[in-house]
């Protein structure tokens, strides 16, 4: 599963969503939290995200560990990569999307993350962590290349908090060739193969050449994300 979260990672409002996600795993949940996107924000913020993630998933009765993958050196740490490879849930918390993408791309840690997905595990990204999972992301300035788990899609987290002029700017950059995926706070879009489902208290807005539609809790229509030009 691929899980895109608008905002609210590790907070009580996301507890029901994360409880449901780990319930769907075939094995005991083994979670690794990566504060990588906050890697340039200082030790205090890195510790904040790490402790918040551990406390959150411990409360959900999951085995959990936070790893200080915060730069290219730690992203190529073989011990960290091995720990991730033995997990079945990897969670990318928020911060700076450019830094997150540049730190993980082509690293041993990223190879391990891909192995978790290949083995039937779950990759969740919130805010910046969600942005980098699309084909393109708004990287201040302009659109940058992402990890392309969702071809033709650019992800906008915090959709219910962002000023309309910013959304219009991203839409203008995306043009008709990309589907813009706006994910509201305390809300997740779960992607499993070609099936998509909204979980949480908010909604997901899909905006492409087919129109602009907001979906709330439940499944999305087939091929709804594949209608860019």
189 or 212: which carries more pLDDT confidence?
Answer: 189
Residue 22: both structure tokens together = 């780990």
131, 146 contact by CB (below 8 A): yes
CA separation, residue 13 to residues 56, 120, 160 (Å): 11, 26, 16
Domains in the chain, CATH or no CATH each? 2-219 (3.40.50.880)
At 199 the pLDDT is 98
> Which CA distances in Å does 175 have to 158, 228, 229?
20, 9, 9
Q: What is the mean pLDDT of the chain?
A: 94
| 190-220 confidence digits (pLDDT tens) | 999 889 999 999 999 999 888 899 999 999 9
- Name the percent of the chain lying above pLDDT 70: 99
Asked if residue 141 has pLDDT above 90, the reply is no
Distance of CA 113 to the CA centre of its chain: 13
H/E element holding 58?
Answer: helix 43-59
Strand order in the sheet with 143-145: 143-145, 134-138, 150-156, 179-183, 204-208, 211-215
Judged against a pLDDT cut of 70, whether residue 229 lies above it is answered with no
pTM: 0.95
């Amino acid at each position: 599963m691929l899980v895109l979260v608008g905002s609210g990672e590790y907070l009580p409002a996301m507890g029901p969503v994360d409880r449901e996600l780990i319930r769907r795993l075939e094995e005991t949940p083994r979670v690794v939290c990566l504060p990588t996107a906050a890697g340039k924000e200082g030790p205090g913020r890195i510790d904040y995200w790490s402790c918040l993630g551990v406390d959150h998933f411990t409360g959900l009765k999951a085995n959990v560990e936070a790893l200080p993958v915060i730069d290219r050196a730690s992203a190529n740490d073989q011990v960290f990569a091995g720990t991730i490879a033995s997990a079945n849930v990897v969670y990318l918390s928020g911060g700076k999307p450019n830094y997150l993408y540049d730190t993980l791309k082509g690293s041993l840690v990223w190879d391990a993350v891909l192995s978790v997905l290949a083995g039937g595990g779950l990759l969740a990204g919130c805010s910046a962590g969600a942005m980098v999972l699309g084909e393109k992301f708004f990287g201040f300035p302009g659109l940058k290349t992402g990890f392309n788990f969702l071809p033709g899609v650019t992800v906008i987290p915090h959709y219910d908090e962002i000023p309309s002029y910013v959304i219009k700017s991203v839409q203008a950059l995306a043009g008709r060739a990309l589907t813009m995926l706006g994910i509201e706070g305390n809300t997740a879009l779960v992607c499993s193969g070609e099936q998509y489902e909204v979980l949480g208290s908010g909604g997901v807005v899909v905006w492409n050449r087919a129109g602009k539609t907001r979906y709330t809790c439940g499944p999305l229509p087939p091929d709804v994300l594949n209608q860019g030009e």
